[in-house]
Amino acid sequence: MYYDASKIENKWQKKWEENKVFKVSYDKSKPKYYCLEMFPYPSGKIHMGHVRNYAIGDVVARFKKMNGFNVLHPMGWDAFGLPAENAAIKNKIHPAKWTYSNIDYMRAQLKQLGLSYDWDRELATCDPEYYKWEQLVFLKMFEKGLIYRKKSTVNWCEDCNTVLANEQVEDGRCWRCSSNVTMKEINGWFFKITDYAEELLEYTYKLTDWPEKVLTMQRNWIGKSYGAEIDFEVKDFEQKITVFTTRPDTLYGATFMLLAPEHEMAKELIKGTEYEEEGLKFINSILKDDKISRAADNKEKKGFFTGRYVYNPLTKKEIPVYIANYILMDYGTGAVMAVPAHDQRDFEFARKYNLDIVVVINPEGESLNPADMQEAYTGPGVMINSGKFDGITNEEAKSKITEFLEEENIGKKTVNYRLRDWGISRQRYWGAPIPVIHCKKCGIVPVPESDLPVRLPLDVEFTGSGNPLETSSEFKHVKCPLCGIDAERETDTMDTFVESSWYFLRYCSPKCDTDIFDKTEAEYWMNVDQYIGGVEHAVMHLLYARFYTKVLRDLGFVNIDEPFERLLTQGMVCKETYSCKKDGWLFPEEVEDGKCKLCGGEVAIGRVEKMSKSKKNVVDPDALIKKYGADTARLFSLFAAPPEKDLEWSEQGVEGCFRFLNRVFRLFSNNLELIRQDINAADDGSKLAKEILYHMNVTIKKVTSDIEKFQLNTAVAAIMELTNNLYLIEPKLSTNYEKMLFRECLLSMVKLLTPFTPHMCEELWQLVGKSGFVSQESWPAYEEKYTVKDEVTLAIQVNGKVRAEITLPRDVDKDTAISAAKGNEKIMGYLEGKTIVKEIYVPQKLISLVIK
């Protein structure tokens, strides 16, 4: 009998499936636990990152199930997205066909890993039965004013006549045709996530079981800043210009004003003047640039003088107005009071265009001279050149100047957020259609709810040019639902982040066909108790999902504020890389004796990097499973590193895990006869029995608390240690009581290992003559009293100095302890000829004698 992983694994996967061991249903009588791993994009094959993510989740789910919880552990597919469409263009295969065949393949792979999913709850977001509810929510949000349409700039390829996602732009060129990418203004749909900015921020302080780094990233993304809006009067002009600043303390140092090229006043100010023609040219040249590079710190500052002046409201001086490339329209008001002495970008701008620099903050004990300054001074200090505010600190000046502006009615305190509204429009086929119709007479008309879902049509062409949905006349040409005239259906589809913003709610009742989900079931299952996924989703996905949940709450669909109670972001799976000068990255098979097999050159053994195809350092889960079995693959990914840390791949590590499983298997097969008997013996006080009890209880205690703390690697280590100890104990077994405890210990060990290597554990469970599934057994309990060794070592002090140690039974009484101490050979030496004046006994710690 030997450990035949593939035979064992196939057998138990089949049995779990046939017996629906992991099927769950709503059951109010039981406490629930919702364990969720981020669902995958069906790209074709799973990678080691998935194996790790899902193995971690599976330990948690199985552990909670064995602890009596009704565990919801679902799996599905984030099935819309660009790669399917790219495949359609390249290989002439329909995105749906490509996606579903990938799903079939990957589902089989996941099943091979023995993950405890309730497969009856599987969902794919490209299913109209899924996205129709998203369309319904769209309509409700639209009705509530949470969705609007506006122009925004996108990456555009003229040759392909299409919008490009950021990842389709490579070095400023189109990924497909390599022609230059330009920026284009187009209309798109936006979710008003900014309405929720404050709440999203506030709750980051309530999500106490999220990693601090994720919360910080979310807070930075929301980017709340306090400041002021200040009105500037324009010389010879009716309208005022309002700026947003976080530094009202620097107002006396504002020596010019800057406008974003998109600012409505930019064109107004130059209209009909000698500056108009050149000014418009300048504006257009800047608008071609994308915003990210415009705002980059190292970008050259470019400006255009409008010929106009505004009055600094405090100095009353006339200051020139420029249009500048680094001012963005979608932050603050799109207009900035420039303070070159204290803002680096303004400093560079002033030097370039020879503009005044006035220092208004001096560092403590120093006096800055603008002519000598090499860069802006952005630190704290004392106010100067600021009228009645001179002499106070700039921190004080912030509030004092703002108060003054408020009194004078020229400004007000404001709060600003960096967070922008969520642009959800994609000019793509493979996404959920946006359910509106454009009518010449009625404008934007929502599709009537009874007409949902708006399904993706099949008569489309995937040429790479334009939005494929535009080519479907069946889809595009419709009658207006209000007035009946010819109208056009919206051809934008939704960002796939919308689907992943609520799939966890749909899992609660994935078959519900009367509502987005069954409210009672959602109330029972939500929140997700444990969410597990990659840190790359720390901002967008998690923020969008939090937002969407709050929207669903405000629309009356759910009664929760936040979807994810606890979050774990697992580390990456990494591996060593190889390369040579001539051939670049090499597969390990291309390296022999430190030389490249292709060119014979020296091979550099490179750094350990995240597994990626381009670096040729990926390990294929299929091959791994074939060679060692899924249990080994799982065990290695759980044992090699703590879940939140990066894991470095090591073949020896995998081998080690495989050997360990063989060792466990042998321990059982060697003792089959013993384990199959149902021994019942009374405590015979044997020393070995005590040792077994100790190891068993200590291990159960440690594994239990380690899993609860996500220290899965040390939990495995504890089981390995137990195995070693049992190997040492086995040859010494003699009494029936010892054998009984040994057997009990082995059975507990199977249970402890079940969340990690479930297939082998089911096999062992059956081998020892148990019926049913160990996956459905309850988690072993331990008794605190056995987790402490029976004997303790006490220090013996004589006049406050430790003179000896003594090992005694843990519960020894005072008299026995003290006479034992007095009987100690070393101590007897100290006591000779002296009188004991005091005897102290601190149980389990020390015995202290005071002598004279």
Task: Give 173 or 420: the residue with its C-beta nearer to ligand ANZ.
Answer: 420
Cα gap 556→523, rounded to integer Å: 12
Q: From the CB of 243, what's the least distance to ligand ANZ, in Å? A: 7
Residue 467 as a binder of ligand ANZ (CB under 6 A): the answer is no
Nearest to 132 by CA among 515, 474, 521: 515
Ramachandran class of 827: left when φ > 0, alpha when ψ lies in -120 to 50, beta otherwise: alpha
Cβ-Cβ contacts under 8 Å for 667 (sequence gap 6 or more): 723, 726, 727, 730, 746
Rounded to an integer, what is the distance from CA 411 to the centroid of its chain? 40
Torsion of CA 387, 393, 399, 401, to 10 degrees: 10
Site string for ligand ANZ, 256-275 (x = CB under 6 A): ----x---------------
Give the binding-site size for ligand ANZ (rule: CB under 6 A): 18
Min CB(419)–ligand ANZ separation in Å: 12
Other residues' Cβ atoms within 10 Å of the Cβ of residue 629? 25
CA-CA distance, 492 to 151, in Å (whole number)? 14
**Considering CB distances under 5 to 8 angstroms, the limit depending on partner class, which of Zn ion, ligand ANZ, none binds residue 405?**
none
Q: Is 592 left (phi over 0), alpha (psi -120 to 50) or beta?
A: beta
Residues in 406-425 that interact with ligand ANZ by CB under 6 A: 416
Which partner from the list ligand ANZ, Zn ion, none does 441 bind, CB cut-off 5 to 8 Å by kind? Zn ion
Kindly identify the residues of this chain, within the stretch 343-362, that bind ligand ANZ according to CB under 6 A.
343
Q: What is the nearest approach in angstroms of Zn ion to the Cβ of residue 455? A: 22
Residue with tokens 């000046």: 397
For ligand ANZ, the closer of residues 201 and 604 by Cβ is 201
Name which of Zn ion, ligand ANZ, none residue 662 binds, using a CB cut-off of 5 to 8 Å depending on partner kind.
Answer: none
Shortest distance, position 250 Cβ to ligand ANZ, whole Å = 4
480 binds Zn ion (CB under 5 A): yes
CB 481, min distance to Zn ion, A? 8
Question: Smallest distance, Å, CB 262 to ligand ANZ?
Answer: 10
Nearest to 685 by CA among 736, 728, 649, 647: 736
* Binding flags for Zn ion, 389-418, as an x/- string (CB under 5 A): ------------------------------
For 185-201, b/e burial (b = at least 16 CB within 10 A) is: eeebbbbbbbbbbeebb
CA 54 – CA 39 distance, rounded (Å): 10
In degrees, to the nearest 5, what angle opens at C-alpha 217 toward C-alphas 213 and 219?
Answer: 115
CA distances from 104 to 111, 282, 716 (A): 11, 54, 32
User: Which of 503, 415, 502, 504 has the alpha carbon at shortest distance from 202?
Assistant: 415
* Residue 320's binding partner out of ligand ANZ, Zn ion, none, with CB under 5 to 8 Å set by partner kind: none
Tell me the closest approach of the beta carbon of residue 149 to Zn ion, in angstroms.
17
C-alpha 562/C-alpha 200 separation (Å) is 9
- When binding is defined by CB under 5 A, the residue of 201, 217, 329, 442 that contacts Zn ion is 442
CA-closest candidate to residue 781, choices 689, 704, 683:
704
Selected range binding ligand ANZ among 129-137, 244-252, 296-304, 648-656, rule: CB under 6 A: 244-252
Of 482-521, binders to Zn ion (CB under 5 A) are 482-483
Residue 59: exposure state from Cβ atoms within 10 A (0-12, 13-18, ≥19): buried
Q: Does 441 bind Zn ion (CB under 5 A)?
A: yes
CA distance 691 to 700: 14
With CB under 5 to 8 Å by kind, the binding choice for 334 among Zn ion, ligand ANZ, none is: ligand ANZ
Considering only 287, 339, 619, 698, the residue that binds ligand ANZ (CB under 6 A) is 339
Span near Zn ion by CB under 5 A; candidates 191-199, 412-420, 441-449, 790-798: 441-449
Choose from ligand ANZ, Zn ion, none: what does 64 bind? Cβ within 5-8 Å by kind. none
Question: 353 is in the binding site of which of ligand ANZ, Zn ion, none (Cβ under 5 to 8 A by kind)?
Answer: none
Which range in 259-267, 385-393, 436-444, 458-466 contacts Zn ion by CB under 5 A? 436-444
How far apart, in Å, are the Cα atoms of 201 and each of 141, 418, 458, 553, 564?
21, 12, 43, 17, 15
| Residue 228 interacts with ligand ANZ (CB under 6 A): yes or no | no
CB-wise, 332 or 453, nearer to ligand ANZ?
Answer: 332
Q: Which does residue 26 bind out of Zn ion, ligand ANZ, none, counting CB within 5 to 8 angstroms by kind?
A: none
Instruction: Report the residue number, 380 or 387, with the smaller CB distance to ligand ANZ.
Output: 380
- Residue 186 binds which entry of Zn ion, ligand ANZ, none, CB below 5-8 Å type-dependent: none
Among 62, 294, 342, 537, binds ligand ANZ (CB under 6 A): 342
244 binds, among Zn ion, ligand ANZ, none (CB under 5 to 8 A by kind): ligand ANZ
439 binds Zn ion (CB under 5 A): yes
CB of 204 to ligand ANZ, least distance (A): 18
Amino acid at 609: E
Strand 224-234 with 240-245, pairing: antiparallel
Contacts of 423 (CB under 8 A, 6+ apart): 152, 188, 189, 190, 495
* Closer of 176 and 247 to ligand ANZ (Cβ): 247
Kindly tell me which of 336 and 633 has the beta carbon lying closer to ligand ANZ: 336
What is the dihedral sign for C-alpha 599, 601, 605, 607? negative
Distance in Å, CB of 343 to ligand ANZ, minimum: 4
735 exposure class (CB count in 10 Å sphere: 0-12, 13-18, 19+): middle
From the CB of 275, what's the least distance to ligand ANZ, in Å?
22
Q: Least Å distance between CB 87 and ligand ANZ? A: 40
Of 183-191, 245-253, 433-441, 786-794, the segment contacting ligand ANZ by CB under 6 A is 245-253
CA nearest 169: which of 3, 287, 293, 61? 293
Residue 237 contacts ligand ANZ per CB under 6 A? no
Q: At what angle do helices 630-639 and 651-670 cross, to 10 degrees?
A: 120
Alpha carbon distance 629, 13 (integer Å): 13
Residue from 180, 225, 284, 816 binding ligand ANZ (CB under 6 A): 225
Helix axes 5-18, 758-767, angle to 10 degrees: 90
What are the tokens at 781?
């309990």
CB of 348 to ligand ANZ, least distance (A): 13
- Nearest approach, Cβ of 123 to ligand ANZ (angstroms)? 41
Phi-psi region of 660 (alpha: psi -120 to 50; beta: other; left: phi over 0): alpha
What residue 168 binds from Zn ion, ligand ANZ, none (CB within 5 to 8 A, per partner kind)?
A: none
Question: Whole-number minimum distance, CB 319 to ligand ANZ, in Å?
Answer: 13
Asked if 785 is part of the footprint of Zn ion (rule: CB under 5 A), the reply reads no
Q: Are 311 and 235 in contact (CB under 8 A)?
A: yes
* Inter-residue contact 349 to 338 (CB < 8 Å): yes
Out of ligand ANZ, Zn ion, none, which partner does residue 483 contact, by CB within 5 to 8 A per kind? Zn ion
Residue 319-338 contact track with ligand ANZ, rule CB under 6 A, x = bound: --------xx--xx-x-xx-
250 binds, among ligand ANZ, Zn ion, none (CB under 5 to 8 A by kind): ligand ANZ
* Adjacent-strand bridge partners of 610: 574
Q: Compare residues 97 and 441 and give the one whose CB is closer to Zn ion.
A: 441
CA distance 478 to 464: 25
Question: Applying CB under 5 A, which residues contact Zn ion?
Answer: 439, 441-442, 480, 482-483
Question: Applying CB under 6 A, which residues contact ligand ANZ?
Answer: 225, 244-247, 250, 260, 327-328, 331-332, 334, 336-337, 339, 342-343, 416
